[in-house]
Chain A
Amino acid sequence: MRYLVLAVCVTALLACTCAKEAVKEGVVITVWETYNSEERAVFLELVDRFHEVNSGITIEAVNIPFDGLEPKILTSLATQTAPDVARVDVGFLPKIAVRGALHPLDEYGVESIKDEIRPVALSSCVLDGKTYGMPDQVNGLCLFFNVDLFKAAGLDPETPPETWEEFVEYAKTITDRDKGVFGFGMRNSLWWSLPFIYSFGGDILTPDMSRCALADEGAVAGFQFKVDLYAKHGVEGGAWRSGGIRDDMGFQNGKYAMIFNGPWAVKGLQQAGIDFGVALIPSGPAGHATNVGGNNLVVFSTSEHPREATKFLMFIASRESQAKWANELGQIPVNVLADELIDFDSHPYLGVFMEQMKYAKPRPQIGGYPEIENDVNPEMQAALDGKKPVLAAMKSACEKVGVVLADEEALKASFKE
């Protein structure tokens, strides 16, 4: 009996492993992408169009879970089994680029399309003067507000707050602690604090990227303002605390009247039947500002067909592809020439998102950015909790950022040798 079971298993095992690969002709470009099911449908249509005009090149798209992409890429790089192309987060690109894992695309004609690409998006692909990818998605935070809560507080949803002073005023009017309703809900992390820091004239690093700027005047003032929203003005509901109601959930449940969020949140909120508006993030002493997020398509240095791969990247970033992408998914086109082709009637918020991108500022292009987030976030948390004064927190954050910058220099030097 035992041997019978064994025999069955062995046969099953062998039978299962005999899957055959179909042999494809011409150049095959493997793409690891992390699109959601709607984006993937549009992406595959674009792939079909690409095949029509480029016979001889076959794009093979593999859908990878978003959370699994980075470990998978790192493992594949260690064993030289990376795909030709992958879609990576803008914050991840420098990390692999400084380690020599990406193919610079400048020699394959990306110059011709560079002028058409939204500058903030393009800058997230450029490192030390070389272009390591083509943006396929760009976005930044905007101010979302709940129309019903505005009306209930006697505020006009047609005129959302334009400056931080107005913002605090609005938030105070709405906040009703007895009902658990707050004017604002926010997250703690460096990236989510950037709109505050930038609009007060601060930055993460100095422009030459030589030194941490978080303890400088602008950044401290911006972050102090964020802390004050909770501690001094009492208009923030503690969404950033562990165990607090998260900003997006509180917004959906009518607990927070305003939150920061991006284009990706629109569909979910519409589905949930929330009446909401989107506005520019209020302006501070340094005017309007926001951060930049998104994804870039990159070509790995192990790819045998970088020229064909680049051709595909440029096709995705082209005016026609981006117009289709924007109109079907309500996302900001990375190609500015596509702007005039957008149907703003079906995407009422897209105009605001695109307007906001004019004031967007990319993060410093350094490989250690994820470490900077990890180092700075606990310090910011301590300041929000009132355990540390803002300046002291920012100073100790800067000490840690200094270590990251030094490591980065050492790493770059080791790869140049």
Chain B
Amino acid sequence: MTGSEKTKRPVQPGRWARTAVLYVVLSAAAIVVLFPFAWMIMTALKQPGTEFDPEFFPKQPTLENLKRVFTEFGFVRYFLNSSIVAVSSALFATLFASLAAYAFAFKNFILKEKVFAVIIASMMVPGLMYVVPQFAIINRLGWMNTYRAMIVPHLANVFGLFLLRQYMTTIPKSLIDAARIDGANDFQVYGRIVVPLALPVVATLFLLTFQFHWSNFLWQLIVTNKESLYTVPVGLSMFKQQHEQLYALKMAASAVSIVPISVIFVFAQRYFIEGVTKGAIKE
């Protein structure tokens, strides 16, 4: 099919059918993705003890689980903690990654490529390997049971550095040179030219790090020994006890825990999708 055919024949039965098939397939995929979420919400509305009754809609829907999650189980505090940790981690990790990426993309210094290679190579080490040494450092610093312990060790984000540097190298050098000729210093070039141009990728990185920290479990569990510092994932795991799982409560808390990520995603969706495709093509 060529472009000229398209303009000549406005109505194409084949095209209509194709669109219909596309919609059917997409709808089916959407149902597959959304069904577990729907199930989670329905379970959250069931009476405790009836979670496994073979029915989709609860017979006697109740908001009691939701209420108990916030009154009996301290999820207000857990949400506050998670927000503090995830927002500051994501902000600072993105900031540092973009600054470093700027240096690696536009500045010249000794052993630049080698240093970059070493940093990238560190991505090959599985994250779990860092847990004990990082924990030892945090402990010696006396940072146990602080927000710092949950935030600081994750601020150097190699993946983010790589992602942003790769994108920044696609920004025409002439643009940077033009700004320099106009008298802009490095921070001005970074803040006024590079970051705005790289905004989709920066926003993507922010989202990904936010999501990572929002759902991080193991690290936040081991550096805190106080319930007042527990984050949402740690709080959620309290519903799985040795012999029983409090499914209705767990689902109620889980349903609330996805709200921040969903809201941020909806607002940042434009950037996010742009960002994912932008990094892919190098012109």
Chain A nearest CB from B152 CB (Å) reads 9
**Across-interface contacts of A295 in B (CB, < 8 A):** 242
Q: Which of B9-17, B129-137, B161-169 is the interface stretch?
A: B129-137
Q: Which of A61-69, A160-168, A297-305, A363-371 is the interface stretch?
A: A61-69
Once the chains bind, are A37 and B88 in contact (CB under 8 Å)? no
Once the chains bind, are A81 and B144 in contact (CB under 8 Å)? yes
With A12-B88, A13-B88, A81-B144 known to touch, is A65 a contact of B218 (CB < 8 Å)? Answer: no
Chain B nearest CB from A172 CB (Å) reads 26
Once the chains bind, are B237 and A16 in contact (CB under 8 Å)? no
Once the chains bind, are B240 and A65 in contact (CB under 8 Å)? yes
Q: Which residue of A lies closest to B228 (CB)?
A: A19
Q: Which residue of B lies closest to A251 (CB)?
A: B52
B133-145 interface mask toward A, CB cutoff 8 Å, 1 = contact, 0 = none?
0011001000011
Interface residues of A in 24-48 (CB under 8 A from B): 30, 32, 34, 36-37
Once the chains bind, are A12 and B49 in contact (CB under 8 Å)? no
Once the chains bind, are B242 and A65 in contact (CB under 8 Å)? no
With A36-B241, A72-B222, A81-B144 known to touch, is A9 a contact of B91 (CB < 8 Å)? Answer: yes
Q: Which residue of B lies closest to A246 (CB)?
A: B52
Q: Which residue of A lies closest to B220 (CB)?
A: A68
**Across-interface contacts of A12 in B (CB, < 8 A):** 84, 88
Once the chains bind, are B139 and A272 in contact (CB under 8 Å)? no
With A13-B88, A79-B139 known to touch, is A272 a contact of B227 (CB < 8 Å)? Answer: no
Q: Is residue B208 within 8 Å, beta carbon to beta carbon, of the partner chain?
A: no
Once the chains bind, are A79 and B136 in contact (CB under 8 Å)? yes
Q: Is residue A2 within 8 Å, beta carbon to beta carbon, of the partner chain?
A: yes
With A9-B91, A9-B92 known to touch, is A271 a contact of B222 (CB < 8 Å)? Answer: no
Chain A CB within 10 A, most for which of B151, B217, B222: B222
**Across-interface contacts of B53 in A (CB, < 8 A):** 253
**Across-interface contacts of B151 in A (CB, < 8 A):** 13
Once the chains bind, are A252 and B52 in contact (CB under 8 Å)? yes
Q: Is residue A268 within 8 Å, beta carbon to beta carbon, of the partner chain?
A: yes
With A9-B92, A272-B50 known to touch, is A65 a contact of B234 (CB < 8 Å)? Answer: yes
Q: Is residue B225 within 8 Å, beta carbon to beta carbon, of the partner chain?
A: yes
Once the chains bind, are A262 and B91 in contact (CB under 8 Å)? no
**Across-interface contacts of B179 in A (CB, < 8 A):** none
Q: Is residue B148 within 8 Å, beta carbon to beta carbon, of the partner chain?
A: yes
Interface residues of B in 80-103 (CB under 8 A from A): 84, 88, 91-92, 95
Q: Is residue A129 within 8 Å, beta carbon to beta carbon, of the partner chain?
A: no
- Size category, A interface: 35 or more
CA distance A388 to B231 in the complex (A): 46
CA distance A79 to B141 in the complex (A): 13
Interface residues of A in 297-349 (CB under 8 A from B): none
Tell which of B50, B139, B234 touches A68, judged by Cβ atoms closer than 8 Å: B234
Once the chains bind, are A2 and B191 in contact (CB under 8 Å)? yes
**Across-interface contacts of A36 in B (CB, < 8 A):** 241-242, 244
**Across-interface contacts of B226 in A (CB, < 8 A):** 62
CA distance A211 to B141 in the complex (A): 47
Interface residues of B in 134-192 (CB under 8 A from A): 135-136, 139, 144-148, 151, 191
Interface residues of A in 58-91 (CB under 8 A from B): 62-68, 71-72, 75-76, 78-79, 81, 83, 89
Q: Which residue of B lies closest to A63 (CB)?
A: B227
Once the chains bind, are A16 and B234 in contact (CB under 8 Å)? no
Q: Is residue A207 within 8 Å, beta carbon to beta carbon, of the partner chain?
A: no
CA distance A163 to B50 in the complex (A): 33
CA distance A365 to B251 in the complex (A): 38
Q: Which residue of A lies closest to B219 (CB)?
A: A75
B237-266 interface mask toward A, CB cutoff 8 Å, 1 = contact, 0 = none?
110111110000000000000000000000
Once the chains bind, are A71 and B242 in contact (CB under 8 Å)? no
Once the chains bind, are B242 and A264 in contact (CB under 8 Å)? yes
- Interface residue count on the B side (C-beta < 8 Å): 40
Chain A nearest CB from B68 CB (Å) reads 10
Once the chains bind, are A62 and B225 in contact (CB under 8 Å)? yes
**Across-interface contacts of B242 in A (CB, < 8 A):** 34, 36, 66, 89, 264, 295
Chain A nearest CB from B47 CB (Å) reads 9
Q: Is residue A6 within 8 Å, beta carbon to beta carbon, of the partner chain?
A: yes
**Across-interface contacts of B221 in A (CB, < 8 A):** 64-65, 68, 71-72
Once the chains bind, are A62 and B241 in contact (CB under 8 Å)? no
CA distance A268 to B92 in the complex (A): 45
Q: Is residue A265 within 8 Å, beta carbon to beta carbon, of the partner chain?
A: yes
Q: Is residue B54 within 8 Å, beta carbon to beta carbon, of the partner chain?
A: yes
Tell which of A32, A67, A265 touches B243, judged by Cβ atoms closer than 8 Å: A265
Once the chains bind, are B49 and A273 in contact (CB under 8 Å)? yes
Once the chains bind, are B148 and A79 in contact (CB under 8 Å)? no
**Across-interface contacts of B222 in A (CB, < 8 A):** 68, 71-72, 75-76
Chain B nearest CB from A239 CB (Å) reads 13
Once the chains bind, are B237 and A264 in contact (CB under 8 Å)? no
Q: Is residue B48 within 8 Å, beta carbon to beta carbon, of the partner chain?
A: yes
Q: Is residue A392 within 8 Å, beta carbon to beta carbon, of the partner chain?
A: no
**Across-interface contacts of B88 in A (CB, < 8 A):** 9, 12-13
**Across-interface contacts of B49 in A (CB, < 8 A):** 268, 271-273
Once the chains bind, are B50 and A13 in contact (CB under 8 Å)? no
Tell which of B95, B132, B240 touches A79, judged by Cβ atoms closer than 8 Å: B132
CA distance A83 to B221 in the complex (A): 15
**Extra contacts besides A12-B88, A76-B222 (7): CB < 8 Å:** A13-B151, A16-B147, A63-B227, A63-B238, A67-B240, A75-B132, A75-B222
Would you give 12 A-B contacts (Cβ < 8 Å), ordered by A? A9-B91, A13-B148, A63-B238, A65-B221, A65-B237, A67-B240, A75-B132, A78-B135, A79-B139, A253-B53, A264-B243, A271-B49
Give A residues with C-beta under 8 Å from B: 2, 5-6, 9, 12-13, 16-17, 19, 30, 32, 34, 36-37, 62-68, 71-72, 75-76, 78-79, 81, 83, 89, 249, 252-253, 262, 264-265, 268, 271-273, 295
Which 10 A-B pairs have CB atoms at the shortest separation, nearest pair first?
A: A264-B243, A271-B49, A65-B237, A272-B49, A36-B241, A68-B221, A16-B147, A79-B136, A249-B52, A17-B146
